Amino acid sequence: MSNNQAAILLMRQLKELNKNTDSGFSAGLVDDSNPFEWQVILTGPPDTWYDGGLFKAKLSFPPDYPYMPPTMRFTSDMWHPNIYKDGKVCISILHAPGSDPNQYENASERWLPVHTVESILVSVISMLSCPNDESAANLDAAKEWRETPDVFKKKVRDTVRRAQEDW
């Protein structure tokens, strides 16, 4: 797929994504001239410790999208076992397609070209609701999640408060 075809696909997905205003997320281009860089706003899932937060993130798409996955990085502070301290999201569907060299994931759990931006964002919202501490990107957050949930919860609530103040 050419750069131009990827750009057309991304613009179509952006338009489709923003039709559903009750999805818990919205997106737009960082720069109108570059369809490969998106700004995303995710609402903390209801009835979770992230509830009430509005979290900013960026999606960066490779030129060979949809054959390779984008990267996603929260620009809002986040405290979560599956989000690196620099904000980068670590979930299976954002990992390159094919077999996992570490054999933690099945190929079917990793990126497939049938995934869309919407399926990525739904997966991230699900990840916020149910962290996977078995495959942690932030070891400190994973340890707190398992061993001192009250401390973890307080840090998440502080994160939500800071996200609200950013608006």
**What is the secondary structure of 56-108 as a DSSP string?**
EEEEE--TTTTTS--EEEESS----TTB-TTSBB--GGGSPSS--TTSSS-GG
* The predicted structure's pLDDT at residue 19: 87
pLDDT of 101:
76
Task: Provide the pLDDT for residue 25.
Answer: 93
The whole-number pLDDT of residue 67 equals 95
pLDDT of residue 43: 95
The pLDDT value given to residue 109: 87
Amino acid 103: pLDDT: 66
Cβ atoms of 117 and 13 closer than 8 Å: yes
**Predicted local confidence at residue 70, as pLDDT:** 98
Give pLDDT, residue 21: 73
* CATH code of the domain in which 104 resides: 3.10.110.10
Dist. CA 60–CA 82, nearest whole Å:
18
Mean pLDDT, consecutive 10-residue segments, the chain of 167 residues? Answer: 87 91 89 97 95 96 96 97 97 88 79 94 94 91 96 96 87
Total count of domains within the chain: 1
Set 83, 90, 91, 128: catalytic member: 90
- Domain of 37, in residue numbers: 3-165
Tell me if residue 130 is catalytic: no
